[in-house]
Structure 1
Amino acid sequence: MNHILLGLAERNEVDLELLFSQQWLGSDGKLDPGCPLRDLPQRTFSTLENATERTWKFLGYPSVDKYLPEKTDWLYAPMETYIPVSKCPVAVTLHDIQAFEPDLPWSRTWKHRLFRYKWELWVRRAFSKCRVILTVSEFSKQRMVDLLAADPQKIVVIGNGVEQCFFDIASADLADWQRPVESPYIILIGGLRQKKGGDDVLAVAKALHQRKSHLHIVVAGESETVYVEASQNCSNITLLRMVPDADLLWLLRGASSFLFLSPYEGFGIPALEAMAAGIPTVVSNQASLPEIVGDAGIVVDPKTPDAIADLLIELDNNSYLRKKYIELGRKHAAQYTWSRCVDRLISTFKQFA
Structure 2
Amino acid sequence: MKTIAFNGKFFGAAPTGVHKVAEQLVAAIDALIAGQAGNGLDCALVVRDRVEIPSYRNISCVRESRWARKMHRIAWEQCYLPLARRRDFILNLCNLGPLFHRDSATMIHDAQVYSAPESYSLPFRLWYKSLYFFIGKRHRIIFTVSEFSKSELVRYGIADPDKIVVVHNGCDHVLQVQPDARQLATLRLKPRRYVLALANTQKHKNIGILLKAFAGAQLGDVELVLFGGATRADFEGHGHVVPPNVRFTGRIADAELVGLMANAGALAFPSLTEGFGLPPLEAMALGCPVVAAPCGALPEVCGKAVLYADPFDPDAWSSNILAVLNDEAVRQSLIFAGLGQAGGFTWKQAARSLFETVRAVTG
* 2:61 counterpart residue number: 42
CA pair 96-122 structure 1, distance change in 2 beyond 3 A: same
Distance in 2 (alpha carbons) for counterparts of 1:96 and 1:114: 18
Distance in 2 (alpha carbons) for counterparts of 1:113 and 1:176: 37
Matched, 1:284 2:293: yes
Q: Where do residues 285-304 of structure 1 align in structure 2 (5 Å cutoff)?
A: 285-304=294-313
User: Is contact 1:167-1:277 (8 Å) kept?
Assistant: no
- Of all paired residues, the percent bearing the same amino acid is 23
* 1:121 counterpart residue number: 130
* 2:118 counterpart residue number: 106
Instruction: Give the one of 223, 229, 235 matched to 1:227.
Output: 235
Instruction: Give the one of 95, 104, 110 matched to 1:90.
Output: 104
* 1:254 counterpart residue number: 263
Distance in 2 (alpha carbons) for counterparts of 1:9 and 1:252: 28
Q: Where do residues 334-353 of structure 1 align in structure 2 (5 Å cutoff)?
A: 334-353=343-362
CA RMSD of aligned residues (A): 3.0
The answer for unaligned runs of 5 or more in structure 2 is 1-21
User: Is contact 1:76-1:92 (8 Å) kept?
Assistant: yes
Give the drift of 1:142.
0.5
Give the drift of 1:37.
4.9
User: Is contact 1:217-1:237 (8 Å) kept?
Assistant: yes
* 1:51 counterpart residue number: 72
* 1:198 counterpart residue number: 207
Give the drift of 1:95.
0.7
The answer for unaligned runs of 5 or more in structure 1 is 26-30
Match of 2:324, SS? helix
* 1:28 counterpart residue number: none
Q: Which has the larger radius of gyration?
A: 1
- String of CA shifts for 1:176-227, please: whole Å, max 9, x gaps: 97373345111113445534212111111123xx226522211111225342
- String of CA shifts for 1:161-184, please: whole Å, max 9, x gaps: 113434877xx8989973733451
Distance in 2 (alpha carbons) for counterparts of 1:176 and 1:116: 36
Give the drift of 1:241.
1.4
Q: What one-letter code is carried by the residue in structure 1 that aligns with 2:109?
A: H
User: Is contact 2:276-2:297 (8 Å) kept?
Assistant: yes
* 1:18 counterpart residue number: 45
CA pair 255-139 structure 1, distance change in 2 beyond 3 A: same
Distance in 2 (alpha carbons) for counterparts of 1:56 and 1:97: 21
Structure 1: 4+ residue segments shifted above 4 A: 37-40, 54-57, 172-177, 228-233
Match of 1:79, SS? coil
CA pair 269-190 structure 1, distance change in 2 beyond 3 A: farther
Distance in 2 (alpha carbons) for counterparts of 1:157 and 1:333: 18
TM-score, normalised to structure 2, is 0.80
* 2:188 counterpart residue number: 181
Distance in 2 (alpha carbons) for counterparts of 1:182 and 1:118: 42
* 2:93 counterpart residue number: 78
User: Is contact 2:196-2:264 (8 Å) kept?
Assistant: yes
* 1:332 counterpart residue number: 341
- String of CA shifts for 1:74-132, please: whole Å, max 9, x gaps: 3211122222555x72111111121122xx3716xxx5332221123321111111100
The alignment covers a number of residue pairs equal to 328
Distance in 1 (alpha carbons) for counterparts of 2:131 and 2:76: 10
User: Is contact 1:160-1:341 (8 Å) kept?
Assistant: yes
Distance in 2 (alpha carbons) for counterparts of 1:7 and 1:175: 30
CA pair 222-55 structure 1, distance change in 2 beyond 3 A: closer
CA pair 149-123 structure 1, distance change in 2 beyond 3 A: closer
Distance in 1 (alpha carbons) for counterparts of 2:93 and 2:317: 36
Name the stretch that deviates more: 90-99 or 116-125: 116-125
Distance in 2 (alpha carbons) for counterparts of 1:49 and 1:193: 32
- String of CA shifts for 1:123-157, please: whole Å, max 9, x gaps: 11111111000111111111010011621000011
